[in-house]
């Protein structure tokens, strides 16, 4: 199943992009995607979903949806 990215707001009002399955902050080029404004977080999620950004801490097989589940879905 492909990774589902989402964003959450911290107490200071800044945003973090995270993997909704593992609940871990997404790391790109060694830096966590946190401390962002809302539009930056939204843009990062779009780029992750398109493949323009690659997460350091999400395995490639999870990102690609390979291997398929036992039901082939």
pLDDT digits (tens, 9 = 90+) for 3-44: 899 999 999 999 999 999 999 999 999 999 999 999 999 999
φ, ψ for residue 54 (rounded to 5)? -125, 130
DSSP 3-54: --EEEEE-TTS-EEEEETTT-PBPEETTEES-SB-HHHHHHHHHHHHHTSS-
Between CA 49 and CA 34, with CA 31 as vertex, the angle to 5 degrees is 70
Spatial distance between the Cα atoms of 13 and 58, rounded to a whole number of angstroms: 25
* pTM attached to this predicted model: 0.76
Confidence of residue 57 (pLDDT cuts 50, 70, 90): confident
Q: Residue 23: what pLDDT?
A: 94
Q: Residue 52: what pLDDT?
A: 95
């Amino acid at each position: 199943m492909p990774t589902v990215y989402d964003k959450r707001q911290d107490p200071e009002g800044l945003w973090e992009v995270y993997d909704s399955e593992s609940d871990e902050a997404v790391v790109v080029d060694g830096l966590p995607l946190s401390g962002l404004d809302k539009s930056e977080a939204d843009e990062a999620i779009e780029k992750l979903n398109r493949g323009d950004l690659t997460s350091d801490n999400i395995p490639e097989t999870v990102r690609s949806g390979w291997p398929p589940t036992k039901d082939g879905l």
